[in-house]
Amino acid sequence: MTALLTLAKREYLSFFRTPLGWVVAALFLFLSGLVFSRAVLVPGEVASLREFFTLWWSLLAIIAPAVSMRLVADEIRTGTIETLLTSPAPELTIALAKFAAAAGFLATCLLPTLVYPAILFAVSRPDAGPMLTGYAGVLLLGWLYLAVGLLLSSLTSSQTLAFLGTLFVILAAELGAQQLAIRLPAPFDAAAMKLSVSIRVADFARGILDTRHVLFMVTLSAFFIGVSACVLRARRWR
Amino acid sequence: MIVVPWCTLILMIECRQLSKRYGSVQAVSDVSLQIRPGVVTGLLGPNGAGKSSLMRMMTSYLLPSEGTVTVCGHDTVQAASESRALIGYLPESAPAYPEMRVRDFVDYRAGLYGLSGLARRQAVATAMDRCWLDGMTERRIATLSKGYRQRVGLAGAIVHSPRVLILDEPTTGLDPAQILELRSLIRRLAAGGDSGSGSASGSGPGSPAAPRTILLSSHILAEVQATCDDVIIMTSGRVRASGTPAELISAHGQTRIVIELIVTLGQMPDVLAGELVAALAEFGSIATSLPKPTTCRAELLLPRGLSDSDLARCELAVAATASQLARTHRMLIGQLARQQATLEDVFMTVVREAGESPKHAAQHSERAQASMPTGTSGAAA
Average pLDDT over residues B332-357: 80
pLDDT of res. B379: 30
The B-side interface with A (CB below 8 A) comprises 22, 56, 59-63, 81-82, 84-85, 87, 89, 91, 93, 95-100, 104, 108-109, 111-116, 156, 200
Give A21-56 pLDDT, tens digit per residue.
999 999 989 988 888 888 777 777 776 777 778 778
Task: Tell me the pLDDT of chain A averaged across its residues.
Answer: 89
Helices B102-112 and B117-130 sit at what angle, rounded to 10 degrees? 130
Q: Which residue of A has its CA nearest to B107?
A: A6
In this complex, do A88 and B59 lie within 8 Å of one another by their Cβ atoms? no
User: Taking the model in full, what pTM does it have?
Assistant: 0.81
Q: Which residue of B has its CA nearest to A16?
A: B99
Q: Which residues of B touch A90 (CB under 8 A)?
A: 81
With a cut of 90, say whether residue A182 has pLDDT above it.
no
Average pLDDT over residues A86-113: 94
> Between chain A and chain B, how many beta carbons pairs sit less than 8 Å apart?
75
Looking at the partner chain, which of A10, A17, A238 has a beta carbon nearest the beta carbon of B62?
Answer: A238
pLDDT of res. B147: 82
Q: Which residues of B touch A88 (CB under 8 A)?
A: 81-82, 84-85, 112-114, 200
Q: Which residues of A touch B81 (CB under 8 A)?
A: 88, 90
Nearest to A223 by CA among A140, A136, A147, A141: A147
B53/B202: higher pLDDT: B53
Residue B94's contacts (CB-CB under 8 Å, 6 or more residues apart) are B149, B150, B152, B153, B154, B172
In this complex, do B93 and A80 lie within 8 Å of one another by their Cβ atoms? no
3-state secondary structure labels for all residues of chain A: CHHHHHHHHHHHHHHHHCHHHHHHHHHHHHHHHHHHHHHHCCCCCCCCCHHHHHHHHHHHHHHHHHHHCCCCHHHHHHCCHHHHHCCCCCHHHHHHHHHHHHHHHHHHHHHHHHHHHHHHHHHCCCCHHHHHHHHHHHHHHHHHHHHHHHHHHCCCCCHHHHHHHHHHHHHHHHHHHHHHHHHCCCCHHHHHHHHCHHHHHHHHHCCCCCHHHHHHHHHHHHHHHHHHHHHHHHHCCC
In this complex, do A18 and B108 lie within 8 Å of one another by their Cβ atoms? no
Asked if B162 contacts B86 with a C-beta cutoff of 8 angstroms, the reply is: yes
pLDDT of res. B201: 45
Q: Which of A48-62, A104-118, B284-298, B349-363 has the highest mean pLDDT?
A: A104-118
B374/A130: higher pLDDT: A130
pLDDT of res. B265: 64
Pairing assessment for the beta strands B25-35 and B256-262 based on DSSP bridges: unpaired
Question: ipTM beyond 0.95?
Answer: no
| Residue B377 burial by Cβ neighbours in a 10 Å radius (0-12, 13-18, 19+) | exposed
With a cut of 90, say whether residue B53 has pLDDT above it.
yes
Q: Min CA distance, A109 vs chain B (Å)?
A: 21
B20, B104, B112, B215, best to mutate vs chain A, most A CBs in 10 Å = B112
With a cut of 60, say whether residue B5 has pLDDT above it.
no
The pLDDT-based confidence of B9 (bands split at 50, 70, 90) is low
The pLDDT-based confidence of A176 (bands split at 50, 70, 90) is confident
In this complex, do B108 and A10 lie within 8 Å of one another by their Cβ atoms? yes
Q: Which residue of A has its CA nearest to B57?
A: A236
User: Would an 8 Å CB–CB cutoff place A71 in contact with chain B?
Assistant: no
B348/A91: higher pLDDT: A91
Asked if A98 contacts A7 with a C-beta cutoff of 8 angstroms, the reply is: yes
The 10 Å CB-count burial string (b at 16+, else e) for B66-82 is ebebbbbbbebeeebeb
User: Would an 8 Å CB–CB cutoff place A237 in contact with chain B?
Assistant: yes
Average pLDDT over residues B296-300: 84
DSSP one-letter code for B37: T
Tell me the C-alpha distance between A228 and A94, whole Å.
9
pLDDT above 70 coverage of chain A, percent: 100
Lowest-confidence pick of A46-50, B78-82, B279-283 = A46-50
3-state secondary structure of B279: helix
Average pLDDT over residues A97-124: 91
Query: Residue B113 phi/psi, 5° resolution?
Result: -95, 15
pLDDT of res. B210: 59
With a cut of 70, say whether residue B207 has pLDDT above it.
no
| Residue A184 burial by Cβ neighbours in a 10 Å radius (0-12, 13-18, 19+) | middle
A76, A81, A86, best to mutate vs chain B, most B CBs in 10 Å = A86
A195/B244: higher pLDDT: B244
In this complex, do B112 and A18 lie within 8 Å of one another by their Cβ atoms? no
pLDDT of res. A143: 94
Pinpoint the alpha helices (H) of chain B. Answer: 51-58, 80-85, 102-112, 117-130, 146-158, 176-191, 221-227, 245-252, 269-280, 308-328, 343-353, 358-371
Rg (CA), chain B: 25
3-state secondary structure of B299: strand
With a cut of 50, say whether residue B209 has pLDDT above it.
no
Give B354-376 pLDDT, tens digit per residue.
776 555 555 544 444 444 443 33
In this complex, do A88 and B62 lie within 8 Å of one another by their Cβ atoms? no
B74, B97, B100, B113, best to mutate vs chain A, most A CBs in 10 Å = B97
pLDDT of res. A68: 95
With a cut of 90, say whether residue B56 has pLDDT above it.
yes
CA angle A68, A70, A74 (to 5 degrees): 155
